[in-house]
Amino acid sequence: MPSMRQSYTVTVPEEPPTAAFPFHKQDLRRKSPQISRSMLVSTFVGLLINQAKNSKNAQGLVGLRNLGNTCFMNSILQCLSNTHDLRDYCLRNCHLTDLNKSCRAKAALMDEFAKLTQTLWTSAGNEAISPSDFKTQIQKYAPRFVGYNQQDAQEFLRFLLDGLHNEVNRVVGRPRVPVEDFDHLSDEEKGERMWSKYLEREDSKVVDLFVGQLKSSLTCNECGFCSTVFDPFWDLSLPIPKKGCGEVTLTDCIRLFTKEDILDGDEKPICQRCKSRRKCTKKFTVQKFPKILVLHLKRFSEPGRVKTSKLSTFVNFPLKELDLREFASEHSTTAIYNLYAVSNHIGTTLGGHYTAYCRNPVLGEWYSYNDSRVSPMSSSQVRSSDAYVLFYELAPSSRM
């Protein structure tokens, strides 16, 4: 198996290549004394990325070898490789400046993930790549992935993003955050304060892209008092409603996730005003939308950790302009998303296979990633009853 150590790593040459910097070293010193080493690296890598974009053999259309029931891993890796901002973060080696010095793993996971992404996008040929070096690091971080048993793709994604975040967390030695009373603040102010406190401990490129904030409202049915809690989320696990027609929409799933729930009986919480257990109404809304929204369709029933059955309901989801404004805490919030990747699960709980459908961020076309095989596909083929994890990117018009 070829080693991922062959992947491209940017270094600063002693003499900048003539094609990249059409001037002599003496002229550089005389005319541009303010040019820094980091600027040279940025320019040099930018040229390489542009070259990759223009190369027919370096467009991220490279498969990943199945090492033995590792299709779940390959599916998620291809989805992340086609995440535009994360891809560029790796191609430009920006993670090297974000490495957390206190991380005991010495950023080995982030390093291998970046090398794998670089190889997928700068490979000179179309031969499938072995992700064995990456697998070695992810199983060191999360021992549950040791061996070659089939695993859940969404669980793998959570562990991977958590591991990458920890290694490039800009916060060194997470400080203890004192408990503060924010009940006197408006919900908007409270949400902002809670988000700021979260960033005091968790702040990375991964957080910049994938983390949003949920608002949970609890209203006492006796006195009407409403308490709010704000929590970060990395993805949303959506229940699939049951309908007679056998087909539902993604909006139906999100409405079911955010619908009001009555907490009664043994579930009665303590009302802060009544000071006793009361029947309450609970509801979720989105306070802060992430740049990358990951939506997990809950197809598997899991009493304990054993998947006993799978829902094959067709969930109709939009490829463009997913409008989530009705689920926002503040209705003035603009939240329009475009789909760019899907992790699919084919089969049953007894035996299945993962693939990925991704829209190439350079070409703008959709491709099917089935382990070693990569093939073009029509956008009309993206929706299927096998869709399991959806990756949406905030539309440019929604970014503030």
Active site residues: 71, 353
Q: Provide the pairing of β-strand 309-310 with 300-301.
A: antiparallel
* Residue 212 DSSP SS3: strand
Q: How far, in Å, CA of 275 to CA of 327, rounded?
A: 30
Q: Which helix (H) or strand (E) holds 121?
A: helix 108-122
Residue among 183, 198, 360, 340 nearest 272 (CA)? 183
Cβ neighbours of 17 (radius 10 Å)? 10
How far is Cα 265 from Cα 222, in angstroms, rounded to an integer? 14
Alpha helices in the chain (DSSP H): 25-31, 37-54, 71-81, 84-91, 95-98, 108-122, 132-141, 153-167, 187-199, 205-210, 250-258
DSSP 33-45: TT--HHHHHHHHH
Longest pairwise C-alpha distance within the chain = 80
Residue 122 makes CB contacts below 8 A (sequence gap 6+) with 7, 8, 48, 52, 58, 91
Strand partners, 238: 297
What is the rounded distance in angstroms from the CA atom of residue 25 to the CA atom of residue 162? 43
Q: Token pair 């010193």 is at which residue? A: 29
- Report the amino acid identity of residue 10: V
Distances in whole angstroms, Cα of residue 72 to Cα of each of 63, 149, 362: 13, 10, 24
45 CB neighbour count, 10 Å cutoff: 18
Q: How far apart are CA 219 and CA 350, in angstroms?
A: 43
Pairing verdict, β 352-359 and 336-347 = antiparallel
